[in-house]
C-alpha cells in the first residue's frame, strides 16, 4: 500500500502510516512516498518507524545550541534511517530528492515482532551504521579539504553514478552548504575544491548539481592522498 505525501508544509510523517488504520496492530511494514523539501521526522520526535530508502535522497542533520549545524549523513537508496535513541529520534531527517521508503515499525527492530528476518536485517543495518560512522570519523578528523571532497564524490559516484559514455554522471541534490556541513568545511572551501577538480580535468560541472567524473582513477588518488 502506498501513502503519497503532499505538497503541504512539513509534518510528522512518521505517524501517518499508522494512525487510523484498521490494521494498525498488524502494520509492521508500509511503503511511503514523499516529495522533496518535506521532513520525515524531527529530532525529539517519538520514533515509531524506521525507514529503508528505496529511491531518492534524504539528509540527516543535528544542530548545536549555538547554531552550528552538522549533517550526520545523506541517506541513499538502500540505506536505513531513523534508528532511535531510546524512543526518540536524535536528528532531523529531510527529503532532498523525491523519495520512496519502506517503513518498519520500531518494534520490528526491538522485539522482532512481525518478522524474524526483518528483525535480523534491521539489527544488521544498525550495526553496519556504527561501522560506517567510524569511517566518517577518519574523514572528519584526518583528511584534508580536497581529500574530503574527493572521497565524497567518489562514494556518491560509486553508489548513484550512471554510466555516461566513458564518464560517470552523478547528481548532487544537496546544496554546497549541506556538503560543507557534512564534511566539516565551509561552503567556500567546498566550492574551491570542486573548481580545482574541474581545472585538473578530473570532473566536469554541468551545473552545480550535476557532475560527471572524467577520471575516476585521479579522483580515487585525490581521495586517498597517501602523500
Partner DNA sequence: CGGCACGTTGAGTGCCCTCAATGCCGGTGG
Partner DNA sequence: CCACCGGCATTGAGGGCACTCAACGTGCCG
Q: How far is the CB of 93 from DNA (least distance, A)?
A: 18
Pick what 126 binds: its own copies, DNA, none; C-beta below 5 to 8 Å, kind-dependent: its own copies
Which element (helix H / strand E) includes 205?
Answer: strand 203-207
CB 96 within 8 A of CB 36: yes
Which residue in 35, 146, 155, 169 binds DNA (CB under 7 A)? 146
Q: How many CB atoms are located within 10 Å of the residue 206 CB?
A: 10
Quick one: what does residue 133 bind among its own copies, DNA, none, with the CB cut-off 5 to 8 Å set by partner type? Answer: its own copies
Q: Which is nearer to its own copies, 63 or 162 (CB)?
A: 63
Residue 64 beta carbon to its own copies: minimum distance, rounded to whole angstroms: 6
Q: How far is the CB of 41 from DNA (least distance, A)?
A: 21
Catalog residues that contact its own copies under the rule CB under 8 A: 62, 64-66, 68, 70, 72, 83-86, 90-91, 109-110, 112, 120, 123-124, 126-131, 133-134, 136-138, 140-142, 181, 183-184, 224, 226
Site for DNA contains 71 (CB under 7 A): no
The nearer residue to its own copies, 49 or 203, going by C-beta atoms, is 49
Select 35 or 126, whichever has its Cβ closest to DNA.
35
Measured distance CA(57)–CA(79) in Å, rounded: 10
Dist CA 71 CA 133 (whole Å): 12
In the complex, least distance from residue 109 CB atom to its own copies, rounded to whole angstroms: 8
Choose the contact partner of 4 out of its own copies, DNA, none; CB within 5 to 8 A by kind.
Answer: DNA
Q: What CA–CA distance (Å, rounded) separates 83 from 154?
A: 26
Per-residue H/E/C for 52-102: EEEEEEEEEEEECCCCCEEEEEEECCCCEECCCECCECCCEEEEEEEEEEE
What's the maximum distance between 2 C-alpha atoms anywhere in the chain? Answer: 61
Task: Tell me which residues in 159-218 interact with DNA (CB under 7 A).
Answer: 175-177, 184-192, 194-195, 205, 208-209
C-alpha cell at 118: 526483518
For residues 117 and 29, give the distance between their C-alpha atoms in angstroms, rounded to a whole number. Answer: 13
The residues that touch DNA, with contacts defined as CB under 7 A, are 2-4, 144-146, 175-177, 184-192, 194-195, 205, 208-209
Amino acid at each position: 500500500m502506498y501513502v503519497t505525501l503532499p505538497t503541504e508544509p512539513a509534518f510528522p510523517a512518521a505517524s501517518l502510516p499508522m494512525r487510523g488504520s484498521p490494521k494498525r496492530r498488524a502494520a509492521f511494514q508500509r511503503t511511503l512516498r514523499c516529495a522533496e523539501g518535506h521532513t520525515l521526522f524531527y529530532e525529539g520526535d517519538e520514533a515509531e518507524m524506521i525507514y529503508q530508502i528505496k529511491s531518492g535522497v534524504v539528509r540527516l542533520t543535528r544542530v548545536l545550541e549555538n547554531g552550528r549545524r552538522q549533517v550526520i549523513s545523506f541517506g541513499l537508496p538502500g540505506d536505513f534511517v531513523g534508528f532511535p535513541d531510546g524512543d526518540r529520534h536524535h536528528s532531523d531527517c529531510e527529503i532532498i530528492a523525491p523519495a520512496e521508503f519502506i517503513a518498519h515499525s520500531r518494534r520490528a527492530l526491538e522485539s522482532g515482532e512481525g518478522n524474524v528476518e526483518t528483525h535480523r536485517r534491521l539489527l544488521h543495518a544498525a550495526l553496519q551504521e556504527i561501522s560506517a560512522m567510524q569511517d566518517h570519523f577518519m574523514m572528519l578528523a584526518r583528511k584534508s579539504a580536497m581529500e574530503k571532497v574527493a572521497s565524497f564524490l567518489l562514494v556518491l559516484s560509486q553508489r548513484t553514478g550512471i554510466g555516461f559514455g566513458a564518464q560517470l554522471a552523478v547528481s548532487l541534490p544537496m546544496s554546497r552548504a549541506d556538503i560543507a556541513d557534512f564534511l566539516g568545511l565551509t561552503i567556500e572551501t567546498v566550492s574551491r575544491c570542486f573548481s580545482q577538480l574541474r581545472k585538473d580535468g578530473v570532473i566536469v560541472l554541468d551545473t552545480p548539481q550535476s557532475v560527471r567524473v572524467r577520471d575516476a582513477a585521479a579522483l580515487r588518488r585525490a581521495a586517498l592522498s597517501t602523500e
